[in-house]
């Protein structure tokens, strides 16, 4: 009898539509691998729906707030079945860009200089000399990110607008000129370095998820020492935050000054047809179906019935 997996998708965040695509792709892959699959559009009744579905494993394909910030992970801990990706603490920390950077910098990983403030203060005057980046402190997929150009006389007024939906905390971050790099880590193994060449002004939501929104160069055409450093730091970030399963760390590489800066770590990378982590897995010989199946097979249980912590890596990817 095949095991049952519940795929959580959709959800309540601004990244709902991307999550629906990720979830559908993962559900189809798991079905091809012989799992009995039930999909759950995760709303406020998610706990009741999980109880009714009674799966052996939960595949968390949610993105953004609620789905990857520790809240759904708390429900899944209480539910007591193995689930994919990171646990409560790592998820909550990684979703908070400001606090993540403090932890990573303490571990010796260089990140861009930044200031945490509220969106109304950020809209009044420049807190860093332009150019700089203004971004929500707790959103993913470049949602709400604004680049303030060097010639800007004042910050964008939209930050203080009544229709701003991305929370009041804003991170003001120095703009690192250069190239966009990313590294996926799977089960403690950094996979590859990809250079992202967006066809929009920067690697925004449209560039990430629209067909043809960006070009991916894998492996990135960069010096070998920079590639090795990016992979080492991605693994270090994954381990420092105690992440599980699959993560992806994003970097900026200032080629002129030979500087690498880690921007953030994503504990639940996209699993869409244009997503970077599955592309890196395929580059090292792991087909999409095998990747998704490995994640389900290696879903972690935070504690057993005796309260003893278990590990997530049961087999090598």
**Residues with a known catalytic role:** 15, 141, 209, 248, 250, 264, 266, 270
Largest CA distance in the chain: 65
Q: Give backbone dihedrals phi and psi of 263, rounded to 5 degrees, phi first.
A: -85, -50
Residue 167, exposed/middle/buried by CB under 10 A (0-12, 13-18, 19+)? middle
């Amino acid at each position: 009898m095949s095991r049952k997996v519940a795929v959580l998708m959709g959800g309540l965040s601004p990244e709902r539509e991307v999550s629906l695509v990720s979830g559908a792709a993962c559900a189809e892959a798991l079905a091809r691998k012989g799992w009995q699959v039930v999909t759950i559009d995760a709303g406020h009744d998610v706990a009741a729906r999980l109880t009714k579905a009674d799966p052996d494993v939960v595949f968390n394909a949610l993105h953004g707030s609620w789905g990857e910030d520790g809240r759904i992970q708390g429900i899944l801990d209480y539910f007591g079945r193995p689930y994919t990706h990171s646990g409560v603490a790592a998820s909550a920390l990684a979703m908070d860009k400001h606090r993540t950077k403090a932890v990573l910098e303490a571990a010796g990983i260089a990140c861009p200089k930044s200031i945490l403030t509220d969106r109304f203060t950020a809209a009044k005057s420049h807190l860093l000399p332009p150019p700089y980046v203004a971004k929500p402190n707790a959103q993913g997929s470049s949602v709400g990110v604004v680049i303030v150009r060097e010639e800007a006389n004042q910050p964008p007024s939209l930050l203080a607008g009544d229709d701003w939906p991305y929370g009041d905390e804003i991170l003001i971050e120095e703009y690192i000129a250069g190239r966009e790099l990313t590294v996926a880590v799977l089960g403690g193994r950094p996979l590859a370095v990809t250079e992202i060449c967006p066809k929009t002004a920067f690697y925004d939501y449209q560039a990430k998820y629209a067909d043809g929104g960006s070009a991916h160069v894998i492996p990135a055409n960069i010096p070998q020492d920079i590639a090795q450093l990016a992979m080492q730091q991605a693994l270090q970030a994954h381990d420092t935050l105690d992440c599980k399963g699959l993560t992806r760390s994003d970097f900026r590489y200032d080629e002129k000054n030979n500087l690498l800066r880690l921007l953030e770590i994503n504990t639940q990378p996209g699993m869409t047809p244009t997503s970077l982590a599955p592309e890196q897995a395929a580059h090292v010989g792991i087909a999409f179906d095998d990747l998704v199946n490995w994640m389900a097979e290696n879903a972690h249980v935070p504690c057993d019935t005796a309260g003893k912590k278990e590990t997530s890596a049961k087999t090598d990817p």
